[in-house]
């Protein structure tokens, strides 16, 4: 028996893993120039899109786990890039707001997407759009509740 299904060359997930690692390595020196990790960069992009949002909205926008996001926000607050503000009417609700330093970092980061895109020599813009669509489908499918259509135990 050859177990073809267990060969790495046949694994979609392994290709996604390798691509993710390669992308992280490509971003690392660019983000080091602005003193951010990739997760911090994702938070900054979300806040540059919409400043002063709740932590819940930031979790939804970035898809970063809540406990991980708490640690990321603490480090970014220590860097004076953002502040955490408690809502006056609901003390449980907290907003994340950029500091002037965090806002100004956007100008320094503006070229990063172009620099990354230039690394994709074999993919044109239409293929990049198709890839993003396919990855959105993968994320959707993996985060959807499974349907239990084959359960016959209760019949």
Q: What is the pLDDT of residues 51-89, one digit of tens each?
A: 999 999 999 999 999 999 999 999 999 999 999 999 888
Average pLDDT, the chain: 91
pLDDT of residue 149: 47
Residue 152: pLDDT above 60? no
3-state secondary structure of 86: strand
Q: Which of 10, 66, 76 is nearest to 41 (CA)?
A: 76
**From the CB of residue 40, how many other CB atoms can be counted at a distance below 10 Å?**
19
- Between 118 and 107, the higher pLDDT residue: 107
What tokens does 14 get?
């392994």
Mean pLDDT over 93-121 rounds to 95
pLDDT of residue 123 exceeding 50, the answer is yes
pLDDT at 1: 67
SS3 content of the chain, % helix, strand, coil (to 5): 60, 10, 30
Cα–Cα distance between 44 and 50 in angstroms, integer? 10
Query: H/E element holding 150?
Result: none
Query: What are the structural domains of the chain?
Result: 7-132 (1.10.10.10)
Position 140 pLDDT exceeds 70:
yes
Q: What is the pTM of this model?
A: 0.86
pLDDT above 90 for 13: yes
């Amino acid at each position: 028996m050859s177990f073809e299904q267990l060969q790495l060359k046949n694994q979609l997930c392994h290709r996604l893993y390798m691509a993710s690692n390669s992308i992280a390595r490509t971003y690392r020196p660019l983000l080091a120039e602005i003193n951010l990790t990739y997760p911090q960069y994702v938070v900054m992009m979300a806040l540059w899109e919409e400043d002063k949002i709740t932590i819940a909205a930031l979790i939804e926008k970035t898809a970063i786990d809540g406990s991980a996001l708490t640690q990321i926000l603490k480090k970014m607050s220590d860097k004076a890039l953002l502040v955490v503000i408690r809502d006056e009417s609901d003390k449980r609700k907290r907003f994340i707001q950029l500091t002037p330093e965090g806002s100004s970092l956007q100008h320094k980061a503006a070229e990063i997407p172009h620099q990354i895109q230039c690394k994709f020599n074999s993919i044109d813009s239409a293929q990049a759009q198709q890839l993003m669509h396919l990855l959105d489908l993968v994320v959707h499918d993996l985060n959807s509740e499974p349907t239990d259509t084959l359960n016959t135990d209760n019949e």
